[in-house]
Amino acid sequence: METLLLETKQLKRVFGHGSGAVTALQDVSIKVPKGRLLVLKGRSGSGKTTLLNLLGGLDRPTEGEVYFEQKALSKMSESARTELRRRRIGFIFQSFGLFPLLSAAENVEFGLRLAGVARSEWKSRTAEALELVGLGKRGSHRPFEMSGGEQQRCAIARALAARPPLILADEPTAELDTKTGGKIVALFREWIAKEGVTILMTTHDPAIMEAADDVYELEDGRIKGGNTDEVEH
């Protein structure tokens, strides 16, 4: 039996009320073991970002439950959920979330500080992560001095450096050319092998889907082909 990192039971998320209500997700029950590269695909509006937000505890389901390492997110206090997000989950979102006044290296270090990593490790972990994403010489640059793809790689470096057990990534290769995107996915695979982390990412790129251990497809807010409850891992 593999250890489950994440599990959802009958997740449902409805936005708005009455006639204007939109059901963004329903019946989503998935089981995510440790040490996997998982892809979430689906058309625009199918619910991918909504699901990532629920898995990361950034939003709450209308019905159902998310379990992180067997603990129900809804049963945690707000401060416990914040701690979980800071220390146990890495986010690579489309807005990158970089601080404009901080350099690339300072942005990565700030992530390490939030994640509770000992100060003595900040410099070495930051240098290693920036090197891995090909930004070894860009540490002193601020976001506005970097291209979209470089900012995206900086956000990836920040997530990897903290070595959380779960990384949630919303189209982390969208700003990258095919070759660089391929390198990042190879890096994800290496990181999974080395650190045992799980990376769940959305993508539209078929080449990346090929590299994944599992692909979930969302259609109109449901996992296509049912959920993974019955799937053997």
Contacts with ligand ATP, residue ranges (CB under 6 A)? 15-16, 22, 24, 42, 44-50
118 contacts: CB under 8 Å, gap ≥ 6: none
With a CB cutoff of 8 Å and minimum separation 6, the contacts of 148 are 175
Q: Which is nearer to ligand ATP, 45 or 148 (CB)?
A: 45
Closest CA to 161 of 213, 202, 104, 209: 104
Residue 189 vs 204, nearer CB to ligand ATP: 204
Q: Please state, in angstroms and rounded to a whole number, the distance separating the CA atoms of residues 177 and 94.
A: 16
Closest CB to ligand ATP among residues 162, 199? 199
72 phi, psi to nearest 5 deg: -75, 125
Minimum separation from the CB atom of position 43 to ligand ATP (A): 7
Q: How far is the CB of 187 from ligand ATP (least distance, A)?
A: 23
> In whole angstroms, how far apart are CA 10 and each of 46, 65, 229?
16, 7, 11
Q: Would you say 46 or 152 has its CB closer to ligand ATP?
A: 46
CB of 177 to ligand ATP, least distance (A): 20
Looking at the Cβ atoms of 52 and 112, the one nearer to ligand ATP is: 52
Minimum distance from CB of 23 to ligand ATP (Å)?
8
Distance of CA 129 to the CA centre of its chain: 16
Instruction: Please state the closest distance from residue 85 (CB atom) to ligand ATP, in A.
Output: 19
Return d(Cα 171, Cα 159) in angstroms, integer. Answer: 14
